[in-house]
Amino acid sequence: MLGKNRNYRATMLDIQKIRADFPILDEQVNGKDLVYFDNAATTQKPLPVLNALANYYGHYNANIHRGIHNLAEKATAAFEESRKAIQKFLNARLTEEVIFTYGTTDGINLVAQTYGRAFLKAGDEIIISTMEHHSNIVPWQMLCEQNGCILKVIPINDNGELLMEEYDKLLSEKTRFVSVVHVSNALGTINPVKQIIEKAHQVGAKVLIDGAQATSHIKIDVQDLDADFYVFSAHKIYGPTGMGALYGKKDILDAMPPYRGGGEMIKEVTFEKTTYNELPYKFEAGTPNIADVIAVKYALDYVNALGKESIAAYENELLAYATEQLLQIEGLRIIGQAKEKVSVISFVIDGVHPQDIGVILDQQGIAVRTGHHCTQPLMKRLGIPGTSRASFAVYNTKDEIDKLVKGIEKVKKMVL
């Protein structure tokens, strides 16, 4: 967020102490100290999260909810504590508005295949944006094929910002659903989602916000946003993989049919009829990802202890420093220079393929992401096949950014 938070200073954070909480940062890659700049793909996990996983499997591994023995009761209590932690983290009104999923993608598919199939019909219009991840494009395309809905797309400017005046033109009485990303994974752009939601509600449309990239950088308040749905993945916010959550307003979730059938999502089953369970269990069929659900509370606790404002302030310092240093490299262009963005820098180098950049940096122990970042339509709009992306987290340092700059200079010498 280069704009709003420039005046913050993160001096209260002890970065070396934070780094000590992440054992993987002591690893070496190709004989070099690891520099991990692929945080937009997945963040590393602190010791409290790793210990929580080991503690569950080592001391109270059991299935949840239906058991009456001690291990089952302990596991169930820890499982539901994570639901409370997510409710507080998102400022949801009720715990039953938090549905456990396997991640952001799963949450979007759940909404598309439950709310979408039940309440959207042929001719209804769904709006997404040019900068969406494939996970927020394909489920809506599938729904359009199933129901005959029409997909509309908000364009962007060359800086990677939504053209809100064009969004206004797309909205109409035919608009029934809007699904947009809070923060672009490819560009780092922070979208004005509160404004997007307000405008959609004025025409009677429901709104889903893809918060995969936002939760680790921005304070989320779903009640203030007035979001109908909000989805995120734990592994983007220092938590485990294969686990995420869907927030939905209770009245909307109550009206939606179940997504999957099986154990836990039922009250009573006969061969003639099944009665479905109440929220949130109606959408949580089968044995869940118990260990990772339990561990996500420890990730959120870790973030809360550091403080979202402090994290954002420090990451903004990294973003500003990296932007300044990288722009001094001849032939390097930063793709996506929105006024409001998080600590993500996508770049291209004239005459150098992004994959070559990634390979040569990896030889120096520096991990970046290369390619289209699951945003092929965005890359097409920008007129490029892909980028190299460096994304920063609270455990990264300016010294590591200096190594990145030196690494890129080495790339140029080897390739050009």
Catalytic residues: 374
Pairwise CA distance, residues 291 & 288, whole Å:
9
Phi-psi region of 343 (alpha: psi -120 to 50; beta: other; left: phi over 0): beta
Residue carrying structure tokens 């150098």: 352
Q: Which of 167, 55, 176 is nearest to 125 (CA)?
A: 176
Tokens of 50: 């790793």
Distances from the Cα of 181 to the Cα of 62, 297, 325, angstroms: 36, 24, 28
* Encoded amino acid at 3, one letter: G
Strands 150-154 and 175-181 come out as unpaired
Q: Which of 293, 183, 217 is nearest to 43 (CA)?
A: 217
Sign of the dihedral defined by the CA atoms of residues 309, 314, 317, 319, in that order: negative
Distances from the Cα of 13 to the Cα of 6, 188, 286, 306, 395, angstroms: 16, 23, 41, 7, 10
- For residue 361, with 0-12 CB atoms within 10 Å meaning exposed, 13-18 middle and 19 or more buried, which class applies? buried
Cβ atoms 196, 207 nearer than 8 A: yes
Pairwise CA distance, residues 305 & 238, whole Å:
13
Cβ atoms 231, 208 nearer than 8 A: yes
Pairwise CA distance, residues 293 & 52, whole Å:
10
Cβ atoms 309, 8 nearer than 8 A: yes
